[in-house]
Structure formats: C-alpha cells, structure tokens
Structure 1
Amino acid sequence: MQYETEDGVKVEVRTTADGSSTLYVPALDEHYHSTHGALQEAQHVYLGAGLEPRLTTAKTRVRVLEIGFGTGLNALLTLQRSLSANAGIDYDTLEKSPLPPAVIRSLGVERYVLNPELRAYHEQLHGAAWDEPVGLTAGFTLRKMHGSLQDTTLPANQYDVVYFDAFAPEKQPDMWTDAVFTQLYEATATGGVLVSYCAKGSFRRSLKAAGWLVEKIPGPPGKREMTRARKPDY
C-alpha cells in the first residue's frame, strides 16, 4: 500500500530480512533502512557503534543528535536502552518530512519491540510536540526539530553522539557535503562521535576535511563496513 508524507512524497511499507519494517521511496528508488534488516542495522550502527561506547563512560547524561527521524526506529531503540542505562539521554532529532500517522501505524511496532509494555513509546515518540523538549521518561528527553539541517542552527559543542542517517549520497547529495560535516563537527562536543551506515570514500574525505578523525569498522548484516568519526580532544 502506498502513502504520502506531508510534503507529497510517496512511500511504501516493506518488510526487511529480519522481519522488521522499513519504507521504500519509489521516486528515489531508496529504502529508509537496510533491506537486510532494519532493526539489525539500527542496533549495530547507531546503538552499538555510537551510543553504547558513550554510555560506558558517561556519568550523568548523554546528548544525542539524529539526522533523519524517519520511522522513529533509532529513537525508539535509544529510549528503550535509556531505561536500563546509568546515564540519562537527551535526544534531539531533525526531520524535514515527517511521516503521517497512517504510515506510523502501518509499520507494525510489534516487529521492533517484543515487550508489549514498551510499545506505547513508539506512539509517544511520534505524538510528541515538535520543536520543544518533551520528557518521555525520567531518563529520556526528546526534542524533534522540524526542518532541514542546512536551515537549522545547532548549538556549538553540544552533542556526544551523532546518528547520521540521511538517504545515500547518490540519492540525497546535498546532505553529504563538506559544509554539512563542518556544521556537525562544530555542534559535536570534544571527543564526541558521528556514526553512519555509509562507508563511501567521498563521505570519509568530507569528514576528514571538516576535522573529524575517521575509521572504517565492521558494518551490520549485509554490509561489510560502516563509518565512525570522532571529534578530537586535543
């Protein structure tokens, strides 16, 4: 079945190899997540390579910035993780094209969250007000920002972890420029990291040009490599 976002982009719900849902955009011939497994990709790339290392050293709160709220999968998994974390999480997420409620319902949250008691969080994430902080639990505060990254002024030296989850460079080239990664570098705290499913050489070169220290690490199922970049603390 086909749906439309609020700005008229057509999307279709698809099931990925691990049984979790993603969205397909016919106009771009692009999926929101890996077809090898949306859930596996999110857990490996964003939580495993980005959030978890920071939680091991954090004493109070971890500040996360997500580029591309999309289906809310990364936010949902991060909220779930916060329930057992020693540190709280402040989660800012940026989305230019929010999904309508019909699409959210069609994703089937039960495919992401096995514990029925936690499924209500998916609805709360999508139902939260835009452009203001909303405390969803004692340890998780969400701020959804509606707009494009290029038109958003981010706080300097703020974020400990950046989830960079834009569409692929060949599908959305304006999101993979030197200027974008300089903007994110300036918004990231010293020692903070940026993680992405992408491992293209052009992406890594843009990160390095902005000042990031870049490494290729093993990717999620179906993908050999991914990228993690760190803002140096020297």
Structure 2
Amino acid sequence: MTDQLKIITTEDGSHSLYHEGLKESYHSFHGAYKESLHVFLIYGLDSWLAHNPKKMPIRIVEVGFGTGLNAWLTLVWAEQNQIPVLYHTLEPYPISKEIYSQLNYIDQNDAIWHYHKYFQLLHDVEWNKGGPVSEYFNFKKDQVTLEEAQLYPSDVVFFDAFAPSKQPELWKKDLLQKIVDSMRPGAVFTTYSAMGQFKRDLKELGLRVENPPGPPGKKEMTRAWKDPI
C-alpha cells in the first residue's frame, strides 16, 4: 500500500501524501497543517480541556497515525501546556522512513521549530510498544486495523481514517460502536467528515453530535460528545 504514495504540497505550504491506488490524499488539499490544528487540536483537544480543566492525564486514541502530524502537534501542545497526555494511535500501513524524513511540518511554525526532533522520534518509536517520548507525552503506536485493535479508555478520539467513499468499512456503525464503548463519560470524538449517515449513526450510538465550522475548504466537520450518565 505504501509503495503507491507520493508527497504533495497543500495550499498552506505543508506536505501531505497522495495514495495513487485510492486516489485520495491523507489531508485536505487546502492545507494539511491547518486542517490538523483545526479539527483535532482546536475542536478536539482544546474543547475537551475547556470542559475538563482538572482531569489529567488526557487519554487520546487516534485512528490513522498516517504522517504523524496529529501526534506531533499533540506532543507540542502537551509540552507547551505542561499537561500529561497518553496517546494511543493505530496504523495498519506505516509509511517508510524515506517518506516521513522528507515531510516539512517542522518548517510550518517557527515558534515550535525547537520540537522538530520529536517528529522523527515518533516515527522511529518501535511499533506495538509504548513509553514516554517527552516529559508530558506518553506514546504507543500499534500496527493493527481498527477491527483488530484493543482500545484503551479514551477522553479524546481523533478519527482520521480515509474518507468514507474510500474506506467505507471504517465508518460502519459496528466499528463506531467499538470506539464509543471505549470512550469515557465526557469524552469527545472529532473528525473532518460531516457525512450525514455517519452523524446519524453517532447519534444512534448515544453521542451528542455537533457541526462546528470545518477547516479551510470545508463548510462543516463533526464533533460528538459522550455525555456523563
């Protein structure tokens, strides 16, 4: 699968990957860096913290490690805010060092450039093992599918799978049920997609669904809360 990847530059100047077999990019063409910040940090992590200012560590599950951008931005966030994060990510098809060593995310923001070494480190961490990567960031990445994965209890879910039209099996209700069951009371689920059936499924699974404004190029995204009983 990874031999069909090529590096592309999105509109904000940051790289993404284009999968020639799926005819799909890993991020929005309108800006990979901006999309990750908007969908997962601002409307995911920041929103959860605003509702739970004293609940730590924050437990994050990510579906789709991909280029590692979400994980790296979260590490930077954890270090800057001095908030401990336990981060568990799933990726059945890791990209090669030849590819991730060329990605330009560390060049997108001079204010966080000094965290550049951690981007490479996240990729170099051994698969299927976990441990601390920095003072506030504990990291585990599993080379498994969502179907195979054992999910830890989560406060925040980053759902960053390929689009429903490209990998519909990942957006089916039975797999969403698996994620919802692992979410702790008060947890938030966030993704770039605003597909109608997907949102209806989340509601039927008991989540409170919201439609915040999307990142550049998208009108809406999806955020869903598992309200305390």
Q: Shorter-chain TM-score: which interval?
A: over 0.9
Is the 1:46–1:74 contact (alpha carbons within 8 Å) kept by the matching residues of 2?
A: yes
Mapping 1:53-202, distance limit 5 Å: 53-56=47-50, 57-59=52-54, 60-114=56-110, 115-155=112-152, 158-202=153-197
Runs of 4+ aligned structure 1 residues displaced above 6 Å come to none
Aligned counterparts of 2:113 and 2:33: Cα–Cα separation in 1: 17
In structure 2, runs of 5+ residues without a counterpart are: none
Q: Name the SS of the counterpart of 1:119 in structure 2.
A: helix
Mapping 1:47-58, distance limit 5 Å: 47-56=41-50, 57-58=52-53
Quick one: which amino acid aligns to residue 162 of structure 2? Answer: F
Quick one: which amino acid aligns to residue 150 of structure 2? Answer: T
Identity %: 39
Q: Name the SS of the counterpart of 1:84 in structure 2.
A: helix
- Could you list the per-position Cα deviations for residues 188-233 of structure 1 after superposition, in whole angstroms to 9, with x for gaps in the alignment? 1001010000001011012122221111111111110000011121
Is the 1:169–1:176 contact (alpha carbons within 8 Å) kept by the matching residues of 2?
A: yes
Is the 2:69–2:105 contact (alpha carbons within 8 Å) kept by the matching residues of 1?
A: no
Please identify, of 13-22 and 145-154, the stretch whose mean Cα deviation from structure 2 is larger. Answer: 145-154
Deviation, structure 1 residue 58: 3.6
- Could you list the per-position Cα deviations for residues 150-181 of structure 1 after superposition, in whole angstroms to 9, with x for gaps in the alignment? 111223xx100000000000100000000111
Question: Given the alignment of the two structures, is residue 17 of structure 1 paired with residue 11 of structure 2, yes or no?
Answer: yes
Deviation, structure 1 residue 86: 4.2
**TM-score scaled by structure 1?**
0.93
Aligned counterparts of 1:16 and 1:99: Cα–Cα separation in 2: 19
Q: Which residue of 2 aligns with 1:218?
A: 213
Q: 1:29 to 1:148 in 2, by over 3 A?
A: same
Deviation, structure 1 residue 14: 0.3
Question: Given the alignment of the two structures, is residue 33 of structure 1 paired with residue 27 of structure 2, yes or no?
Answer: yes
In structure 1, runs of 5+ residues without a counterpart are: none
Aligned counterparts of 2:201 and 2:222: Cα–Cα separation in 1: 12
Aligned counterparts of 1:186 and 1:55: Cα–Cα separation in 2: 21
Quick one: which amino acid aligns to residue 48 of structure 1? Answer: I
Q: Name the SS of the counterpart of 2:211 in structure 1.
A: strand
Say what the alpha-carbon RMSD is for the aligned residues: 1.3
Counting helix residues as a fraction of each chain, which structure ranks higher?
2
**TM-score scaled by structure 2?**
0.95
Q: Name the SS of the counterpart of 1:225 in structure 2.
A: coil
Aligned counterparts of 2:30 and 2:93: Cα–Cα separation in 1: 24
Counting strand residues as a fraction of each chain, which structure ranks higher?
1
Q: Name the SS of the counterpart of 2:101 in structure 1.
A: helix
Match of 2:222 among 210, 224, 227: 227
Is the 1:132–1:143 contact (alpha carbons within 8 Å) kept by the matching residues of 2?
A: yes
Aligned length: 226
Q: Which residue of 2 aligns with 1:209?
A: 204
